[in-house]
Amino acid sequence: MQHYVNIIINSVFIENILLIYFLGMCSFLSISKKVETSIGLGLAVIFVLSITAPANWAINEYLLADGALSWAGLGHINLDFLQFIVFISVIAAMVQLVEMLMDRFSPALYVNLGIFLPLITVNCSILGTSLFLVEREYDLIESTVFGFGSGLGFFLAIVSLATVRKRMRYSNVPPTLRGVGMAMLLTGLISMAFLGFSGISL
């Protein structure tokens, strides 16, 4: 149990997917103008990551990795060069599926999160998480926990930036620095604060 809690703490604070690995910056910068929408996007990312991480783990483990096809008597085939295209297709398909299910069973949730779902397919943090869990050789439960933790890290980062950006309205920023430039500098400061966590040993 402790091991799984450590994975979550590690992926939320110490190796935050956004502030330390820079994944998912595009939507991070464009959606963080309002707190409500940033919460919506953050929740959608947590949701999609917790589903795609185990799905991609299973596909890699039983179809793509070196010797993974031995259950079908094809142990000598190594398909791991197909990882990228298969992972991105799985993510696109999963997002579509989630969107349809949400629309059918929970229209209220769909209204709030639905508009963010198509954006998520091309969010680097989703593909990045799938690639990281292959690189780090996690098992099924570890991957699920890691997916959830990465999503939580993204949520925390985007909501904190949105709240800070809201405060910036009252300050007099040079015109050409407004928007992206300022958001970048603010992210740098938040990221610096998160570096403080790197001293924690788990």
| Binding residues among 148-167 for another protein as defined by CB under 8 A | none
Cβ atoms of 102 and 113 within 8 Å: the answer is yes
Minimum separation from the CB atom of position 19 to another protein (A): 6
3-state SS class at 180: helix
Work out which of 23, 31, 53, 156 binds another protein, going by CB under 8 A: 23
Q: Which is nearer to another protein, 73 or 199 (CB)?
A: 199
* Selected binder of another protein within 1, 2, 76, 85 (CB under 8 A): 85
Report how far residue 12's alpha carbon sits from residue 127's, in angstroms, rounded to the nearest whole number: 17
177 near another protein, judged by CB under 8 A: yes
CA–CA distance, 143 with 133 (Å, rounded to integer): 6
CA-to-CA dists, residue 150 to 20, 63, 101, 142, angstroms: 11, 25, 23, 12
Q: Binding to another protein by residue 81, rule CB under 8 A?
A: yes
CB 73 to another protein: min, Å: 26
176 contributes a contact to another protein by CB under 8 A: yes
We find the least distance from the C-beta atom of residue 2 to another protein, in angstroms, to be 27
Is residue 175 a contact point for another protein (CB under 8 A)?
Answer: yes
Task: Tell which one of 8, 9, 29, 109 touches another protein (CB under 8 A).
Answer: 29
Helix (H/G/I), strand (E/B), else coil: 197? helix
